[in-house]
A = this chain, B = another copy of it.
Amino acid sequence: MARQLFELVGTDDRRFSPYCWRTRMALAHKRLEAARVPVRFTEKELIAFSGGATVPVLVDGPNTVRDSWAIACYLEETYPTAHSLFGGPEGRALARFFNLWTDSVLQPSVFQAIVGDLFALVVDPADKEYFRKTREARLGRTIEEAHALRPEKLAAFKAALAPLRQLLAEQPFVCGAKPGYADYIVFGTFQWARMVSACPLLEGEDAVLAWRARMLDLYGGLGRGVAAFDTAA
């Protein structure tokens, strides 16, 4: 196949990266197939051809694109006649804001809440030393210290979701009546969390949980059909 998606892999072939899930959902949105190539954290040599050291990397015929946002823009420009990811320049500009908000506000709090489980359950034994060294440097604390902060990090995450919760009480998807790339951005965070930890991010009546269930149903249950530790969805 001429199209390949290089994505992060952990134990038992788990493909849990939130950024790779953005791309998987974007490809499904565009009805595009891709062969999925697993890459462990320390197998940087497999993606060195991309010019970077992180996944996702998309190879599409002669084109190589790295970074989930760049891939989404590439797909929209290269396959404009298929279902739109952004709905136009304004939608793309605001999806970029949504991407930056998710990365800077939501991801860090969830990461600290689940990193202990991620490390214990999903990081491949061959990657554990690398993971601990790089992530503890980023966190400024040990994985065990971060794990102990779970309650306050989950509380911060729930509070930060307030505007998204209000939005999803008004409309079925972030992008309105139909899902679009902004939905996939934040879905990646939720899908990653349920694939690496049994800890539920949200409980009870919550418009965000109802939205997550709708997202898991998309594209023949693409998100639902994977091994997850949090099976409440």
A contact set with B: CB distance below 8 Å:
84, 86-98, 100-101, 103-105, 162-164, 166-167, 170-171, 173-177, 180, 182
Contacts and interface: CB of A to CB of B under 8 A. Distances in A.
29 contacts: A84-B90, A86-B90, A87-B87, A87-B91, A88-B90, A88-B91, A89-B176, A89-B177, A90-B90, A90-B91, A90-B176, A90-B180, A91-B94, A92-B176, A93-B171, A93-B173, A94-B97, A94-B98, A96-B167, A96-B171, A97-B98, A97-B163, A97-B182, A100-B163, A100-B167, A101-B101, A103-B163, A105-B162, A105-B163
Given A89-B175, A90-B176, A94-B97, 7 more contacts: A87-B89, A88-B90, A93-B173, A94-B94, A94-B98, A97-B164, A97-B182
Nearest to A96: B167
**Which 10 pairs from chain A and chain B are nearest by CB?**
A87-B90, A93-B176, A90-B91, A94-B94, A100-B163, A101-B163, A91-B91, A100-B166, A87-B88, A90-B175
Given A104-B163, A163-B104, A174 B97 contact: yes
Contact of A94 (B89, B100, B104, B174): B174
Nearest to A90: B87
